[in-house]
């Protein structure tokens, strides 16, 4: 089977690797260097329970995908021969005010009811657990299942593994339109023309710019996120990701710290701004006082693909035969990469929406795809 994947961020790379290792002939097209879109400006947090609500489709997807991550990373490392920074250290979400503390205690209550391991620490105990946090912290919620992954190393390993399995990558190549029929699909990229049995559109915020004949423009919009990269110099450095009211941080083995991230409706503007940097530096120093002496190594910005209802668009199109969508992941693209790749493999290789994935029961995958049906979102988008 000949499959063309449009997009070489973490979603496109995950899908390409999964399909290539199942024997598909895969070509990946990207409009710039691989992983230089939203993936490049991602901190790599794997934290489905943070900022989540009880029993939502997105939470269920995040939990399922997190359960796949250990094998996902191990397989990518083994197949590529490249190392990936990955740790399941848990996350520590802190409260700076009594109101924050009340909110986190509410979160703990529903996590307890759901049987999710978590621990609450009051002020002094929280500071003992994580000495880098501010003295005025009211408390903190530790969720041990969470972790983080080095996104750049992950995307690189996935693409190398896909290449070793026979996939090819072409960049910079911008796909312009897709025309499908019962036998396959044709993709036009400038003066180039590609034919494939299946096409996967995984171009993040730029997915809406890929015109698909017979399908309304994808209702995906770019939301800018700015991120800081700091060289830590203070004695106490966080041992795990710390999340606060205004930012989150991820510590790396090289002694640096990522601080993210703003949420800005800025269209396709990928600029870093003084206001963005200022908001993040203010938030991180309030949470981790040692950040005041850190060195600012870099400021990054990426465009996250958002949808109106917050759900990603994953699944085969009902209107365009042989075209699959895998976009709209917003702030959860890294977390949902293993599950999205598994869903693509089930739909394209197995030609079934209810394929069993790592012990998943028949019917569950179909339900998952229905929750994120691309045509449902496209049709809804047409009325907005």
CATH number for the domain spanning 60: value is: 3.50.50.60
Residues 339 and 358 in one domain: yes
Specify the pLDDT at position 364: 36
Specify the pLDDT at position 371: 42
- Number of structural domains, the chain? 2
Question: Side by side, which strands form the sheet with 91-95?
Answer: 119-122, 139-143, 91-95, 242-243, 248-251, 256-260, 221-231, 295-306
Residues 345 and 297 in one domain: no
Residues 74 and 92 in one domain: no
Specify the pLDDT at position 372: 45
- Which tokens in the block code for residue 61? 């997807």
Among candidate residues 306, 334, 366, the one where a domain is terminated: 306
Residues 71 and 158 in one domain: yes
Residues 56 and 110 in one domain: no
Residues 318 and 298 in one domain: no
Residues 49 and 162 in one domain: yes
Residues 95 and 136 in one domain: yes
pLDDT tens, the chain, 384 aa long: 999 999 999 999 999 999 999 999 999 999 988 877 788 889 999 999 997 777 889 999 999 999 999 999 999 999 999 999 999 999 999 999 999 999 999 999 999 999 999 999 999 999 999 999 999 999 999 999 999 999 999 999 999 999 999 999 999 999 999 999 888 999 999 889 999 999 999 999 999 999 999 999 899 999 999 999 999 998 889 999 999 989 999 999 999 999 999 999 999 999 999 999 999 999 999 999 999 999 999 999 999 999 999 999 999 998 898 999 999 999 999 999 999 999 999 999 987 653 333 333 333 334 344 444 444 433 222 222
Range of the domain at 171: 2-81+151-219+309-382
Among candidate residues 306, 335, 367, the one where a domain is terminated: 306
Residues 213 and 277 in one domain: no
Separation of alpha carbons 331 and 311, rounded Å: 11
Specify the pLDDT at position 61: 95
Q: Which CATH number belongs to the domain containing residue 239 in this structure? A: 3.30.9.10
Specify the pLDDT at position 360: 35
Residues 6 and 118 in one domain: no
Residue 136: CB atoms within 10 Å: 11
Among candidate residues 239, 272, 306, the one where a domain is terminated: 306
Residues 122 and 229 in one domain: yes
Residue 81 CA to its chain's centroid (Å): 23
Residues 256 and 317 in one domain: no
């Amino acid at each position: 089977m000949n499959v063309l994947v449009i997009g070489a961020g973490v979603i496109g790379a995950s899908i390409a690797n999964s399909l290539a290792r199942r024997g598909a002939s895969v070509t990946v097209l990207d409009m710039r260097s691989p992983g230089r879109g939203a993936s490049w400006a991602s901190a790599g947090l794997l934290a489905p329970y943070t900022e989540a609500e009880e029993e939502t489709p997105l939470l269920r997807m995040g939990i399922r995908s997190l359960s796949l991550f250990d094998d996902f990373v191990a397989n990518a490392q083994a197949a590529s021969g490249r190392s990936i920074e990955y740790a399941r250290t848990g996350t520590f979400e802190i409260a700076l005010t009594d109101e924050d503390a009340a909110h986190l205690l509410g979160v703990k209550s529903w996590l307890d009811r759901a049987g999710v391991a978590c621990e609450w620490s009051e002020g002094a105990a929280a500071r003992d657990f994580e000495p880098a946090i501010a003295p005025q912290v009211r408390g903190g919620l530790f969720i041990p299942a969470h972790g983080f992954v080095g996104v750049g190393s992950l995307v690189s390993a996935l693409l190398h593994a896909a290449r070793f399995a026979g996939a090819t990558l072409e960049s910079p190549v911008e796909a312009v339109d897709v025309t499908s029929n019962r036998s396959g699909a044709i993709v036009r990229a400038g003066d180039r023309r590609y034919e494939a049995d299946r096409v996967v559109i995984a171009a993040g915020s730029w997915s809406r710019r890929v015109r698909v004949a017979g399908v309304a423009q994808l209702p995906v919009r770019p939301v800018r996120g700015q991120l800081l990269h700091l060289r830590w110099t203070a004695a106490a450095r966080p041992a795990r990701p710390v999340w606060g009211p205004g930012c989150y941080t991820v510590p790396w083995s090289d002694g640096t710290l990522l601080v993210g991230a703003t949420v800005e409706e800025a269209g396709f503007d990928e600029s870093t701004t003084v206001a963005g940097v200022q908001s993040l530096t203010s938030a991180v120093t309030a949470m981790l006082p040692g950040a005041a002496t850190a060195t600012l190594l870099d400021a990054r910005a990426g465009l996250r693909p958002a949808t109106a209802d917050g759900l990603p668009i994953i699944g085969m199109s009902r209107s365009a035969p042989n075209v699959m969508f895998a976009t709209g992941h917003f702030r959860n693209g890294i977390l949902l990469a293993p599950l999205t790749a598994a869903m693509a493999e089930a739909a394209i290789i197995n030609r079934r929406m209810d394929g069993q994935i790592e012990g998943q029961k028949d019917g569950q995958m179909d339900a998952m795809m229905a929750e994120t049906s691309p045509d449902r979102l496209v049709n809804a988008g047409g009325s907005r």
